[in-house]
Amino acid sequence: MVCPTPIGNLGDVTLRVLDALRSADVLACEDTRRTRVLLDRYGVSASLVSYHEHNERERAAQLVTRMRGGDVVALVSDAGMPLVSDPGFVLVQSCVAAGLAVEVLPGPSAALAALVASALPAETWRFAGFLPRKRGELEALLRAPETLVAFESPKRLAASLAVLADLDADRPVAVCRELTKLHEEIVRGSAGELAARYAQADPKGEIVIVVGGAADVAGELGDAVAALERLVAAGAKPRPAAAVVAELTGTSANALYRALTESER
Protein backbone atom coordinates (compact mmCIF):
# COMPACT_ATOMS: atom_id res chain seq x y z
CA MET A 1 0.00 0.00 0.00
CA VAL A 2 1.25 3.47 -0.90
CA CYS A 3 0.27 5.78 1.96
CA PRO A 4 0.56 9.57 1.73
CA THR A 5 1.35 11.34 4.99
CA PRO A 6 0.74 14.94 6.15
CA ILE A 7 2.90 17.63 4.56
CA GLY A 8 3.06 19.59 7.80
CA ASN A 9 -0.07 19.40 9.91
CA LEU A 10 -0.36 15.93 11.45
CA GLY A 11 -4.13 16.39 11.62
CA ASP A 12 -4.30 15.98 7.84
CA VAL A 13 -3.69 12.21 7.88
CA THR A 14 -6.73 10.26 6.65
CA LEU A 15 -8.56 7.61 8.66
CA ARG A 16 -7.95 5.14 5.86
CA VAL A 17 -4.19 5.72 5.98
CA LEU A 18 -4.17 5.19 9.74
CA ASP A 19 -6.06 1.92 9.30
CA ALA A 20 -3.53 0.85 6.66
CA LEU A 21 -0.57 1.69 8.90
CA ARG A 22 -2.09 -0.28 11.78
CA SER A 23 -2.81 -3.34 9.66
CA ALA A 24 0.49 -3.52 7.73
CA ASP A 25 3.11 -6.07 8.71
CA VAL A 26 5.88 -3.60 8.00
CA LEU A 27 6.17 0.11 7.19
CA ALA A 28 8.82 1.15 4.68
CA CYS A 29 9.77 4.70 5.70
CA GLU A 30 11.98 7.36 4.15
CA ASP A 31 13.06 8.34 7.67
CA THR A 32 11.88 6.09 10.49
CA ARG A 33 12.28 8.90 13.01
CA ARG A 34 9.93 11.20 11.11
CA THR A 35 7.36 8.45 10.65
CA ARG A 36 7.55 7.56 14.33
CA VAL A 37 6.35 11.06 15.23
CA LEU A 38 3.16 10.50 13.22
CA LEU A 39 2.65 7.00 14.62
CA ASP A 40 3.10 8.14 18.22
CA ARG A 41 0.58 10.93 17.68
CA TYR A 42 -2.10 8.37 16.80
CA GLY A 43 -0.98 5.48 18.97
CA VAL A 44 0.03 3.27 16.07
CA SER A 45 2.42 0.44 16.87
CA ALA A 46 4.23 -0.88 13.80
CA SER A 47 7.41 -2.52 12.58
CA LEU A 48 9.52 0.00 10.63
CA VAL A 49 12.31 -0.38 8.08
CA SER A 50 14.17 2.39 6.30
CA TYR A 51 13.54 2.88 2.60
CA HIS A 52 15.32 5.87 1.07
CA GLU A 53 17.18 6.94 -2.06
CA HIS A 54 20.43 5.30 -0.92
CA ASN A 55 19.02 1.81 -0.31
CA GLU A 56 16.03 1.67 -2.67
CA ARG A 57 17.08 -1.25 -4.86
CA GLU A 58 18.34 -3.48 -2.08
CA ARG A 59 15.37 -2.76 0.18
CA ALA A 60 12.83 -3.08 -2.65
CA ALA A 61 14.06 -6.61 -3.36
CA GLN A 62 13.74 -7.52 0.32
CA LEU A 63 10.23 -6.08 0.56
CA VAL A 64 9.06 -7.85 -2.59
CA THR A 65 10.28 -11.13 -1.10
CA ARG A 66 8.27 -10.44 2.05
CA MET A 67 5.15 -9.58 0.05
CA ARG A 68 5.48 -12.79 -1.93
CA GLY A 69 5.48 -14.58 1.44
CA GLY A 70 2.18 -12.92 2.36
CA ASP A 71 3.26 -9.82 4.28
CA VAL A 72 1.48 -6.49 3.76
CA VAL A 73 3.89 -3.58 3.24
CA ALA A 74 2.90 0.06 3.66
CA LEU A 75 5.15 2.62 1.95
CA VAL A 76 5.39 6.14 3.36
CA SER A 77 7.69 9.09 2.77
CA ASP A 78 8.49 11.92 5.17
CA ALA A 79 5.63 14.02 3.81
CA GLY A 80 3.05 13.81 1.05
CA MET A 81 2.71 11.12 -1.60
CA PRO A 82 5.59 8.65 -2.03
CA LEU A 83 7.21 8.66 -5.50
CA VAL A 84 6.34 12.36 -6.05
CA SER A 85 9.88 13.76 -5.65
CA ASP A 86 10.29 11.12 -2.94
CA PRO A 87 11.53 7.50 -2.88
CA GLY A 88 9.20 4.69 -3.89
CA PHE A 89 9.41 4.27 -7.66
CA VAL A 90 11.75 1.27 -7.52
CA LEU A 91 9.49 -0.56 -5.06
CA VAL A 92 6.27 0.09 -6.99
CA GLN A 93 7.94 -0.88 -10.26
CA SER A 94 9.30 -4.06 -8.66
CA CYS A 95 5.86 -4.96 -7.30
CA VAL A 96 4.23 -4.53 -10.70
CA ALA A 97 6.97 -6.60 -12.36
CA ALA A 98 6.43 -9.35 -9.77
CA GLY A 99 2.68 -9.37 -10.33
CA LEU A 100 1.94 -8.03 -6.85
CA ALA A 101 -1.03 -5.75 -6.19
CA VAL A 102 -0.27 -2.08 -5.55
CA GLU A 103 -2.93 -0.08 -3.71
CA VAL A 104 -2.54 3.70 -3.63
CA LEU A 105 -4.40 5.62 -0.93
CA PRO A 106 -5.32 9.28 -1.49
CA GLY A 107 -4.10 12.00 0.82
CA PRO A 108 -2.13 15.23 1.25
CA SER A 109 -0.10 16.65 -1.64
CA ALA A 110 1.94 19.85 -1.53
CA ALA A 111 1.74 20.18 -5.31
CA LEU A 112 -2.06 20.09 -5.41
CA ALA A 113 -2.45 22.34 -2.37
CA ALA A 114 -0.16 24.95 -3.94
CA LEU A 115 -1.87 24.74 -7.33
CA VAL A 116 -5.26 25.47 -5.83
CA ALA A 117 -3.94 28.18 -3.48
CA SER A 118 -2.15 29.95 -6.35
CA ALA A 119 -5.45 30.97 -7.98
CA LEU A 120 -3.83 30.20 -11.35
CA PRO A 121 -5.50 28.08 -14.06
CA ALA A 122 -5.65 24.41 -13.07
CA GLU A 123 -7.35 22.85 -16.11
CA THR A 124 -3.96 21.90 -17.56
CA TRP A 125 -0.81 21.95 -15.46
CA ARG A 126 2.63 20.41 -15.21
CA PHE A 127 4.52 19.20 -12.15
CA ALA A 128 8.29 19.51 -12.51
CA GLY A 129 9.61 18.21 -9.18
CA PHE A 130 12.53 20.44 -8.16
CA LEU A 131 13.43 23.21 -10.61
CA PRO A 132 16.63 22.54 -12.60
CA ARG A 133 19.76 24.40 -11.59
CA LYS A 134 21.15 25.00 -15.10
CA ARG A 135 19.83 28.21 -16.59
CA GLY A 136 19.21 26.77 -20.04
CA GLU A 137 17.15 23.88 -18.66
CA LEU A 138 15.26 26.24 -16.35
CA GLU A 139 14.43 28.66 -19.16
CA ALA A 140 13.15 25.82 -21.34
CA LEU A 141 10.92 24.60 -18.52
CA LEU A 142 9.59 28.08 -17.77
CA ARG A 143 8.41 28.43 -21.38
CA ALA A 144 5.79 25.72 -20.79
CA PRO A 145 2.32 26.85 -21.94
CA GLU A 146 0.68 25.13 -18.96
CA THR A 147 0.61 26.27 -15.35
CA LEU A 148 3.84 25.00 -13.79
CA VAL A 149 4.09 23.60 -10.25
CA ALA A 150 7.53 22.88 -8.80
CA PHE A 151 9.48 22.57 -5.57
CA GLU A 152 12.32 24.99 -4.94
CA SER A 153 15.02 25.43 -2.32
CA PRO A 154 14.66 28.63 -0.26
CA LYS A 155 18.28 29.46 -1.12
CA ARG A 156 17.61 29.22 -4.87
CA LEU A 157 14.17 30.84 -5.03
CA ALA A 158 15.47 34.35 -5.72
CA ALA A 159 17.72 33.16 -8.56
CA SER A 160 14.93 31.16 -10.20
CA LEU A 161 12.51 34.07 -9.97
CA ALA A 162 15.16 36.35 -11.49
CA VAL A 163 15.45 34.02 -14.50
CA LEU A 164 11.67 34.01 -14.88
CA ALA A 165 11.53 37.80 -14.62
CA ASP A 166 14.13 38.07 -17.38
CA LEU A 167 11.94 35.90 -19.59
CA ASP A 168 8.68 37.66 -18.75
CA ALA A 169 8.43 40.08 -15.84
CA ASP A 170 4.63 40.05 -16.07
CA ARG A 171 4.12 36.29 -15.67
CA PRO A 172 1.83 35.55 -12.71
CA VAL A 173 3.51 33.60 -9.91
CA ALA A 174 2.59 32.27 -6.48
CA VAL A 175 5.20 31.35 -3.90
CA CYS A 176 3.67 28.93 -1.39
CA ARG A 177 5.68 28.52 1.77
CA GLU A 178 5.26 26.11 4.70
CA LEU A 179 1.91 24.75 3.46
CA THR A 180 -0.43 23.54 6.25
CA LYS A 181 2.07 24.63 8.91
CA LEU A 182 1.89 27.38 11.52
CA HIS A 183 3.67 29.94 9.34
CA GLU A 184 1.97 29.10 6.03
CA GLU A 185 2.29 31.95 3.54
CA ILE A 186 1.01 32.39 -0.03
CA VAL A 187 2.55 35.32 -1.91
CA ARG A 188 1.06 36.11 -5.32
CA GLY A 189 2.28 38.62 -7.86
CA SER A 190 4.16 39.10 -11.11
CA ALA A 191 7.54 37.49 -11.71
CA GLY A 192 9.16 40.93 -11.56
CA GLU A 193 7.50 41.82 -8.25
CA LEU A 194 8.37 38.53 -6.58
CA ALA A 195 11.92 38.51 -7.93
CA ALA A 196 12.47 41.91 -6.32
CA ARG A 197 10.83 40.81 -3.07
CA TYR A 198 12.89 37.67 -2.58
CA ALA A 199 16.13 39.26 -3.77
CA GLN A 200 16.16 41.09 -0.43
CA ALA A 201 16.34 37.95 1.74
CA ASP A 202 15.93 34.19 1.37
CA PRO A 203 12.65 32.85 2.79
CA LYS A 204 12.63 30.01 5.30
CA GLY A 205 10.90 26.66 5.12
CA GLU A 206 9.64 24.46 2.31
CA ILE A 207 8.70 26.18 -0.93
CA VAL A 208 6.32 25.30 -3.76
CA ILE A 209 6.31 27.73 -6.67
CA VAL A 210 3.42 27.98 -9.13
CA VAL A 211 3.93 29.83 -12.42
CA GLY A 212 1.25 30.82 -14.91
CA GLY A 213 1.60 29.34 -18.39
CA ALA A 214 3.81 31.12 -20.90
CA ALA A 215 2.00 33.12 -23.55
CA ASP A 216 2.12 32.12 -27.19
CA VAL A 217 4.65 34.83 -27.98
CA ALA A 218 4.60 34.41 -31.72
CA GLY A 219 0.80 34.56 -31.83
CA GLU A 220 0.43 37.33 -29.26
CA LEU A 221 3.08 39.67 -30.63
CA GLY A 222 2.31 38.97 -34.28
CA ASP A 223 2.88 42.19 -36.24
CA ALA A 224 5.41 43.53 -33.73
CA VAL A 225 7.69 40.53 -34.28
CA ALA A 226 7.30 40.85 -38.04
CA ALA A 227 8.31 44.53 -37.82
CA LEU A 228 11.35 43.64 -35.74
CA GLU A 229 12.39 40.99 -38.25
CA ARG A 230 12.22 43.56 -41.06
CA LEU A 231 14.36 46.02 -39.13
CA VAL A 232 17.00 43.39 -38.38
CA ALA A 233 16.97 42.24 -42.02
CA ALA A 234 17.63 45.87 -43.00
CA GLY A 235 20.75 45.90 -40.80
CA ALA A 236 19.51 47.04 -37.37
CA LYS A 237 20.98 45.41 -34.26
CA PRO A 238 18.41 43.12 -32.61
CA ARG A 239 18.45 44.50 -29.06
CA PRO A 240 18.09 48.22 -29.91
CA ALA A 241 15.55 47.38 -32.62
CA ALA A 242 13.48 45.36 -30.14
CA ALA A 243 13.47 48.32 -27.74
CA VAL A 244 12.23 50.67 -30.47
CA VAL A 245 9.46 48.33 -31.62
CA ALA A 246 8.44 47.72 -28.02
CA GLU A 247 8.12 51.45 -27.37
CA LEU A 248 6.01 51.94 -30.49
CA THR A 249 3.71 48.97 -29.93
CA GLY A 250 3.52 48.77 -26.15
CA THR A 251 4.88 45.22 -26.12
CA SER A 252 7.77 43.72 -24.14
CA ALA A 253 11.22 44.28 -25.59
CA ASN A 254 12.47 41.07 -23.96
CA ALA A 255 9.58 39.07 -25.39
CA LEU A 256 10.21 40.52 -28.86
CA TYR A 257 13.90 39.71 -28.70
CA ARG A 258 13.20 36.15 -27.52
CA ALA A 259 10.68 35.62 -30.29
CA LEU A 260 13.22 36.85 -32.83
CA THR A 261 16.03 34.59 -31.61
CA GLU A 262 13.72 31.57 -31.44
CA SER A 263 12.53 32.15 -35.01
CA GLU A 264 16.16 32.19 -36.18
CA ARG A 265 16.99 28.76 -34.70
Give the start-to-end residue ranges of the domains of the chain.
Answer: 10-97, 110-211, 217-263
Q: pLDDT at position 220, please?
A: 57
Q: pLDDT at position 182, please?
A: 92
> 3.90.930.60, 3.40.50.300, 3.40.1010.10, 1.20.950.20: which CATH number matches 10-97?
3.40.1010.10
CA atoms of 53 and 55, how far apart (whole Å): 6
Averaged pLDDT, 80-109: 95
Q: pLDDT at position 86, please?
A: 92
CATH top-level class of 110-211: alpha beta
CA distances from 194 to 1, 9, 161 (A): 40, 27, 7
CA atoms of 241 and 247, how far apart (whole Å): 10
Q: Which of 51-60, 142-151, 194-203, 223-232 has the lowest mean pLDDT?
A: 223-232
Tally of CB atoms within 10 A around 94: 18
Length of the chain: 265
User: For residue range 202-242, what is the model confidence (pLDDT) as tens digits?
Assistant: 899 999 999 999 876 545 567 888 889 999 999 999 999 99
CA distances from 79 to 34, 140, 172, 177, 220 (A): 9, 29, 27, 15, 41
Verdict on whether the full-model pTM lies above 0.95: no
Q: pLDDT at position 263, please?
A: 66
Confidence of residue 68 (pLDDT cuts 50, 70, 90): very high
Q: pLDDT at position 164, please?
A: 96
Averaged pLDDT, 123-136: 93
Q: What share of the chain is helix, strand, coil (3-state, %, to 5)?
A: 45, 15, 40
Q: pLDDT at position 118, please?
A: 96
